[in-house]
Chain A
Amino acid sequence: MTGLLPVADNTQVRRYVVDLFRRYPRALGGAVTLHIAAAIAGLVGPRLLGELVESLQHGGGAAVIDRLGLLIAGFVLLQSVLTRFAHLASARLGEGVLARLREEFVERVLALPLSTVERAGSGDLLTRTTRDVDALSRCVRLAVPETMIALITIVLVIGALAVVTPLLALPLLVAVPIIVCGTRWYLRRAPKAYLEQNSRYSAVTDGLAETVDGARTVDALRRRRERVERTDHDLHRTWLAERYTLFLRTVWFPVVEVGYVLPVVATLLVGGLLYLGGTVTLGQLTAAVVYVQLLIDPVDRLLSWLDELQVGMASLARLLGVAEGRSDNPEPAAEVPTPVGARIEVRGVRFAYAPGREVLHGIDLTLEPGERLAVVGPSGAGKSTLGRLLAGVYQPTAGTITVGGVPLGDLPLDRLRTEVALVSQEHHVFIGTVWDNVAMVRPGADEAEVCSALAAVHALDWALALPDGLATTVGSGGHQLSAAQAQQIALARLVLADPHTLVLDEATSLIDPRAARDLERSLAAVLRGRTVVAIAHRLFSAHDADRVAVVEDGRITELGSHDELVAANGPYASLWRSWHGERTPQDTDEPLADTDAAGARR
């Protein structure tokens, strides 16, 4: 895949995490305190158990056993109650943090410049939105609290060991260099490796989706073998990534396992020798060995969750990376200048997607309010790019585009939308109610406004007839709308958004030729009274326009009304004639063509 979205670096991720938890100081403090209390209650049990065994050895009676038994049971009860509240507190914190994280991410996605999305492809963004958000949820719900509990337990056990016999805490130190070096080695390589692995899985999923969605194409072009090979290739690359992370774990796992057993051996050996020398008692030795073993579980949990934390961090890095792509909607100046009038002026505009690859070489154009301009020309000549510049999606590399005297780039996005809207070929119906799908462009619109927008595009009748009227859920998983209905919804949005200028990119594609004539009426209703730039590939829309701009090779080569251009006998004129079935201007089909043209002019 080309131009994947960026990924945030470690520093950014760390800063973000710290900030995140700083926002919840009390919840964090409460959860930690409860976990500490629960862990202490848990440590009392084994100690009392030792006392019970000792009392047996020293001939304690049944009464002592019963009393100690009850006491241990009491602490178990206390520990379970504390665990309950500790768990609840950290879950509350986690859910809060998680909700905030995903909401911020979606806000970032919604602020992403179109250019970035187009470059990266929606597959990568989709993976981040789905898989990474899910992975992060798992991490915050499980890995974070488990890590916290493990850390607390480790600190408390080491404390207990130091209290019982500080001398026997020293053998623990043999494990430190082994575990620390091994883990550092691992962690230094793991995040990158897991990121790589994730993206390899994306490729596999994308490839499969392509094969399934394009099954007919695979069939028609007999690409069965290619699809199979492509999948196997993607899987092989995934395997290489998996094999590398497996190698990392193959080194790391045994190292830390040895790191677990060494302190037990060392404590036994040193403690045993000290006991033989009379420095420590048998009780101290036994307690030390028990505590050292008690450490293994939390340390292991901590390390194993580090793995999951890495995955979560990797996902977080990918989520935060999405923010890096934003550039072409810079925060506007503090005081927003107000456009005066609706005239759009384009002066000396040049544009390049990448340095040195200029696609527009100096465009000058003035759009008078209410004017209809058709932009025609061969594909790849820069028509769509010009449309995007007019809609403020891209900023020109040189020259200026102003609306009412204010550069488009200086307008905040929501303000810009009331001036110019770009209508692309897509007509996505969002998951939500019909109401939401229309009112989204103007939150706070009242019922009359939404209804009249729907009525304007002749969609109100069928919309009200839906099972729940305007409250019917449509979009993926909801009530299925026909293509024509989806298009009408898209048009109703425009009526409500009410920009004075519309840029229709390949607008004829918006109107499916299979759909009925009332769709044309819907579109006509939308266009009424607005400045329209129609980037057309069909001549009839050009014929209907006030002026026609012929764009060739990044320049406007012809500009004038249809009749003027036909009279000028340039490239536009020859095309117009050939459209009407004339091989040459001398041909004799003229009457029929003219009759029809007159009809089309309406």
Chain B
Amino acid sequence: MRKLPDADPGDPDDRSATHYLGWLVRRYRVTVFAAIAMAVLWMLCQAFVPAVIGRAIDASTRHDRHDLLTWCLVLFVVGAAQAYTGVSRHRFAVVNFLSAMFVTVQVTVRQAARLGSALPRRLDTGEVVAIGTADIRAIGGALDITARGTGSLVAVVMVTVILLTTSVPLGLVVVLGVPVLMAVVGLLIKPLHHRQQDSREQQGLLTGRAADLVGGLRVLRGVGGEAMMAERYRVESQSLRAAGVRTARVESLLEAAQVLLPGVFLVLVTWLGAHFALAGQITVGQLVSFYAYAAFLVAPLRQLTEALDKLTRGHVASRRVVTMLNAETDLPDPQSPVPPAHLAGDLADPESGVVVRPGEITAIVSAQPAEAALIADRLGRYAEGGTVGGRPLGDFAVATVRGRILVADNDAHLFSGQLRSDLDPYGSGLLPAALHTAAATDIVEALPDGLDSEVAERGRSFSGGQQQRLRLARALVADPDTLILVEPTSAVDAHTEARIAERLITARAGRTTVLCTSSPLVLDRTDRVCFVEDGRIVATGSHHGLLDTEPRYARTVLREDQP
């Protein structure tokens, strides 16, 4: 049996949804065809059973004990074969389902990682996450149904041939009648689908509301509002219930039609057949088999409809995956990137006039912290505009820049899993020192399993200040040539901030470091401060110098928002 997931998902064919599905089928052709083969055999076994039973009854009427025993044995063998092919088909189909699903997750994650910072600008993140829940199942389902779909097709063709060779007129009635019947049922299904769609949308909204309540649970626990929220939910839930009953009204008509139409058709076939038999055109035995086959056809035809439906859904889901796979970064590598060795000299942002000298600890202060963050983005090549040694950063490959310059901001996520593997994935040995610098040693010590403790998603089990210190430690472990920290201490208390500032300056002594901050505790220790207003640098100097000479600067760093 295949081991999943694949070590390398390979290069998906993302030209179109159809190509993507085709790629999946080609990729897993062995199990796909095995599943199809088993499904065909399985159908054949099923089709055999009525014939064998007929033979056994015939043997009884002939009082042939030996034949009776033989046919009973054959029936058992056919039944066992049906069981074997059935479960084999299921196993292969599940493997196909999972393979398609897993590989889609893999290519999605790889693409998300490839797009990196460009992802939220290029794609709706919610839709990408949705690929991981609903779409992968639809795509897996499309691959899964190929087996039963093909098996049903074979069965339908086979029965058609059998019936037509027995009696052409009656055969035609069955062969044409059954698809017409299915089509009529299909037409009836249309309005039902609309209602079901509405119901599902309403269900989706209700689920969204429940998820929203979960997201705001902390707020609710703090200030209240549960009663009203529960009431709002109840009202929507009741309206979904009403919609569900309305859908059921149509659905029940369809159920009734599914009893009535095939039933009436079977009566018609039997009645016609009986008259044919009366006229001597067919035998009574053939009449019975006509009846049996007309009844038998309904199941494979239903599976064919199901197959169409699942393939359509899979196609729609694949379209979303293909859209995602086709997204390109808006920070592309240049045609011929400048070699990494040239990434040296002053790092500068001509737009604002900020210049970062190698080996210095530079601060960027702005009354509008968002401005400083924008400058950091340009210096780190998250936006175009930064230069290094007079050369545009855009001339270098993104990977080169990321390897040398690290921009660590407060939107950065802590990743779930072991704390150690998030902070120091390569075991660099820098972690204890980094934790000390970030004043985060106590956080780790308080954890039940220390660095081996599990981090909850987004690091939510940590307070805002703890998260910030852990993020800082993580950035220090990465130990980049140039470290750009955006508001690294905005969420910690003053005691800790003072401590971090002291240690950070020591730890990064002689290495290019940029701090976007307005905290005097930190600024006090930097080599040089760039004061920015309205996106342009207005003054440069030491913290104390600027405090004396630049009243706007003094206002910015000493004023604090407060209750």
Contacts and interface: CB of A to CB of B under 8 A. Distances in A.
Contacts of B230: 103, 106-107, 110
Interface in A403-447: 413-414, 417, 421-428, 430-432, 436, 439-443
B494 A538 contact: yes
B225 interface: yes
Contacts of A384: 463
Contact of B425 (A84, A226, A376, A441): A226
B264 A76 contact: yes
Nearest to A271: B60
Contacts of B231: 443
Interface string B76-96: 101110111011001100100
Interface string B271-296: 10011011000001001100100000
B90 A249 contact: yes
B110 A414 contact: no
A246 B91 CA distance: 7
A497 interface: yes
A380 B114 CA distance: 37
B328 to A, nearest CB: 14
A6 B119 CA distance: 36
A544 B562 contact: yes
A83 interface: yes
B411 interface: yes
Contact of B416 (A1, A103, A537): A1
Contacts of A242: 94, 98
Interface residues of A, number: 187
Contact of B210 (A2, A56, A130, A216): A130
B79 A537 contact: no
Interface stretch (B22-30, B61-69, B304-312): B61-69
B430 to A, nearest CB: 14
Contacts of A205: 129, 132-133
Interface string B525-563: 000000000000000000110011000001000111111
A494 B461 CA distance: 25
Interface in B416-463: 416-417, 421, 425, 439, 442-443, 446, 448, 453-458, 460-461, 463
For this complex, into which size category does the number of interface residues on chain B fall?
35 or more
A472 to B, nearest CB: 15
B495 A378 contact: yes
A583 B233 CA distance: 57
Given A494-B223, A575-B494, A215 B119 contact: yes
B474 interface: yes
A65 B275 contact: yes
Contacts of B399: 222
A448 interface: no
A479 to B, nearest CB: 15
A247 B535 CA distance: 64
A255 B68 CA distance: 25
Interface string B446-485: 1010000111111011011110010000110010000000
A507 B491 CA distance: 10
B260 A76 contact: yes
Contacts of A126: 211, 214-215
A96 to B, nearest CB: 7
Contacts of B102: 235, 238-239
Contacts of A426: 216, 218-219
Nearest to A490: B219
B197 interface: no
Nearest to A246: B94
Contacts of A94: 244
B11 interface: no
Nearest to A527: B563
A269 B479 CA distance: 81
A338 interface: no
A537 B493 CA distance: 4
A107 to B, nearest CB: 5
B271 A65 contact: yes
A253 B212 CA distance: 41
Given A91-B252, A212-B128, A257-B79, A117 B457 contact: no
B210 A210 contact: no
B255 A261 contact: no
B271 A253 contact: no
B253 to A, nearest CB: 6
A261 B469 contact: no
Interface in A219-267: 219-224, 226-228, 230-232, 235-236, 238-239, 242-243, 246, 249-250, 253-254, 257-258, 260-262, 264-265
Given A205-B133, A431-B209, A544-B562, 17 more contacts: A2-B455, A2-B456, A76-B263, A113-B221, A204-B105, A216-B382, A216-B411, A219-B113, A232-B106, A257-B86, A357-B446, A380-B466, A439-B228, A508-B562, A538-B494, A575-B495, A592-B554
20 contacts: A56-B284, A65-B278, A91-B251, A95-B241, A109-B210, A129-B211, A205-B129, A208-B129, A210-B457, A215-B119, A220-B406, A228-B109, A228-B113, A242-B98, A249-B90, A414-B227, A425-B464, A428-B215, A527-B563, A581-B544
